[in-house]
Amino acid sequence: MPVRPTAALRLAVNAVNLSTLLGLAVAYVGRARVTVAHEGLFVARGFTLGARTAPAFTVGNVIILRLDDEALARRPRLLVHEARHATQYAWCIGPLFLPLYLAAAGWSWLRARDFASYNVFERLAGLEDGGYPPPPRRRSRPSRR
């Protein structure tokens, strides 16, 4: 299957900035099985390290899953969400994405007591596609007269 030019560019940029290599190393250390997916992405299934807070995370062009295939089938948009993170890695010069993402998650935590609602990277990747609830509605302030 041919790869779209934008996906080929993402693949090349994430290869050059070494984030995909980092993602493959993370998958290897976490004993995940890596397969080639569409659009130049890799999917690493069965990741075993770390806290089980996120069902998936992305490093470069590597989508690392803690979900089994049955659980993934119930979340068909999750891989689309994670593919958007792969593009964000390319735009953020690879590994530089990590501190930027952590800063955005910290900002979201300060605003909403969760790591996604006001995290610009999660919002751009699609909160709903990632399985996150919409941001809390802000209460309007009473008008002063």
CA dihedral 19, 21, 25, 66 (to 10 degrees): 60
Neighbours of 91 (CB within 10 A): 12
The pLDDT assigned to 145 comes to 59
Helices (H), the chain: 5-16, 19-29, 69-73, 78-91, 97-112, 120-125
Cβ-contact 19, 94 below 8 angstroms: yes
The predicted-structure confidence for 96-138, as pLDDT tens digits, reads as follows 999 999 999 999 999 999 999 999 999 999 999 999 988 877 6
- Residue 51: strand, helix, or coil: coil
Return the domain boundaries, the chain: 5-92
Mean pLDDT of 69-80: 93
The pLDDT assigned to 50 comes to 79
Please report, as a single letter, which amino acid is at residue 90.
Answer: A
Cβ-contact 60, 21 below 8 angstroms: yes
- Residue 68: strand, helix, or coil: coil
Measured on CA atoms in the order 66, 56, 110, 95, is the torsion positive or negative? Answer: positive
Quick one: tokens of 114? Answer: 């969760």
Exposed, middle or buried, 90 (CB in 10 Å: 0-12/13-18/19+)? buried
The predicted-structure confidence for 2-52, as pLDDT tens digits, reads as follows 789 999 999 999 999 999 999 999 999 999 999 999 899 999 999 988 767
